[in-house]
Amino acid sequence: MIKVKKRKILLLPGDGIGPEVIREVKKIIEWFNKNKSLDFEIEEDLVGGSSYDKHKTPITDEVFYKALESEAVILGAVGGSKWDNLEFSKKPERALLKLRKELKLFANLRPAICFKQLVNASTLKPEIVSGLDIMIVRELIGGVYFGEPRGIKPIDNGERKGINTHTYTSSEIARVARVAFDLAKKRKNKVTSCEKSNVMEAGQLWKEEVQIVHDKEYNNVELSHMLADNCAMQLLRNPKQFDVIVTDNLFGDMLSDEAAMLTGSLGLLPSASLGAKDKNGNMRSMYEPVHGSAPDIAGKGIANPIASILSFSMALRYSLHLDKEADNLDLSVQKVLDDGLRTQDIFSKGNKEVSTETMGNAIIANLQK
């Protein structure tokens, strides 16, 4: 008998509402195993503050090696005020940085989609955000968050100096640019590259290297360059001018959060962090909702699980090569929203407010139709 290698999915619920939303993802994975004869092997472990509480470290070596051996990592959320006073190396967020860096997850994909059912939840006028569909590609393991030297040190006059180094190489820029161009070819064929080339040498290099990749490999894709501060303004003024935005780690962090809020709720938005493909087309990856751990509502059963569920949909699409299943899951989410079901964060008059669990169950019920 031929043994079929099961595909490992590592669930890392984390802190705050993380365990609540990941619980709904786990139910969906189990539904696919049972009803679509898929072969996902689920593992679950601690990360972030919950890991620190038990092991005095935000991620253990054992969990890290489990991540290395998994086809996809699905993370809930990490952090909370409970751990604010820990030394920097012990903070829950350091687990995220370690996973991104050590798994070489250099490309972060954050879609900003305004669901038609929630146009009125946006703070912008409906005509500005209706039909919005942007993909922001953020370089994730370079730039100022990882550059050396870094730290805080005393200086001669009794003051202290904080140091962070913003640095990129040609290859680091080129590989994330290729991800953006490849995505654009499957969308509207348009890439906007954002930097601060007017005041930063690293920004000048970014602009030049993206242009080189375009001219050599993707000259059939429309490319434009935009200063990052102008991009921040244009996202509010006319967001539908964008298709794919590619930018560095720092600007990507800020611009993707801004774009997310155009949609009306962070509770709906997923993200993917991807590494390089091997010769077989496989890659390391991690998927997580854009929202944080929201400790103020943890344990109340009111968190929105949709962002985590759509993060699993991205895993189906990008890591597990199951586009049909991803399409079905996306459609199930749309149907639930069409039916007027809303968690507290997106509730408005005329809809039905439901719990985290009820929302997850409703999405599974629509998968069965």
8-state DSSP, 71: S
SS (H, E, C) 119-166: HHHCCCCHHHHCCCEEEEEEECCCHHHCEEEEEEEECCCCCEEEEEEC
Cα–Cα distance between 191 and 337 in angstroms, integer? 30
345 classed as catalytic: no
Q: What's the rounded Cα separation, in Å, for the pair 165 and 158? A: 23
- CA separation, residue 88 to residues 62, 239, 291, 316 (Å): 21, 36, 22, 34
Residue of 52, 91, 145, 243 marked catalytic: 145
Q: 45, 133, 253, 339: which is the annotated catalytic residue?
A: 253
In the 3-class helix/strand/coil scheme, how is 280-322 assigned residue by residue?
Answer: CCCCCEEEEECCCCCCCCCCCCCCCCHHHHHHHHHHHHHCCCC
* Active site annotation includes 257: yes
Q: Active-site residue 229, yes or no?
A: yes
Selecting among 133, 257, 330, 339, the annotated active-site residue is: 257
State how far the Cα of 334 lies from the Cα of 293, in Å rounded to an integer: 24
Tell me if residue 168 is catalytic. no
Q: What three-state secondary structure class fits 227?
A: strand
Q: Dihedral of CA 75/76/77/83: which sign?
A: negative
Q: Helices 170-185 and 201-217, interaxial angle, to 10°?
A: 50
Is residue 248 among the annotated active site residues?
no
Q: Which one from 45, 133, 182, 229 is the annotated catalytic residue?
A: 229
Structure tokens at 112: 């900003």
DSSP three-state, residue 238: coil
* Residues assigned a catalytic role: 145, 196, 229, 253, 257
